[in-house]
Amino acid sequence: MAMAITMYAVAQQAPLHEPVRQIVVSLEDRKLALMEDGQVKKIYSVAVGKDSTPSPEGTFSIERRVANPVYRHNGRVVEPGPANPVGSRWMGLSTKGYGIHGTNDPKSIGKAVSHGCIRMGRVDIEEFYALVAVGDQVRIVGTRNEETARLFEAAPLQSGKQAVQLAKTEPVAASEPASRNALSEDVKQLAPALLAIAAASSR
């Protein structure tokens, strides 16, 4: 009887809430935001694709997660370790050939230098890897917009016309008027001279 009650109590427990995760990458800001249930959980600096091999833009998903991957490209094979170009973690995206991964060149973070993938530093990629799962949405944004400006605390872009309008309508601060005490002192200093002039003109 006690076992039956225990089993019933376990069955009645509410299922744990699984947060809805979304990853937003701003190519212009070179930053990545991990969001859970619409709230920013973490922001990371990243490297993105260079002009000749740009990062893809659009909405994708994480399809694979590999810890300590073997790098293979054009016949070249690099085993896991500090020389591996994709670092210690790989998360393949739903667009073939692209992913979010580590790097063996930490100085590249914050720059547009990759072959199109999103690179992260070792500490960041290993933390990020543990926080995401297969199926999580990844949105890569090329040009800064209101959302990425808000996420990454960048000032929203303004057109030239808007900038001119703001310049025209911005009030000009008036000079601060002299205090009454200062005026009184000036009058006191001028009083003898004014009295002398008045006396001379009355003669």
The alpha carbon dihedral of 191, 197, 201, 203 has a sign of positive
CB atoms closer than 10 angstroms to residue 127:
15
Any idea what the Cα angle at residue 42 is, between residues 102 and 21, rounded to 5°? Answer: 90
CA distance 113 to 106: 12
Whole-angstrom distance, CA of residue 65 vs CA of residue 120: 15
Backbone angle region of 121, left / alpha / beta, with phi > 0 → left and psi within -120 to 50 → alpha: beta
DSSP 8-state code for residue 94? S
Quick one: how far is CA 153 from the chain centroid?
A: 6
Cβ neighbourhood burial of 106 (10 Å; 0-12, 13-18, 19+): middle
Among all residues, which ones are annotated catalytic? 101, 117
Show the beta-strand stretches assigned E in the chain. 21-26, 31-36, 39-45, 48-49, 58-67, 71-73, 76-78, 89-93, 99-101, 112-114, 118-119, 137-141
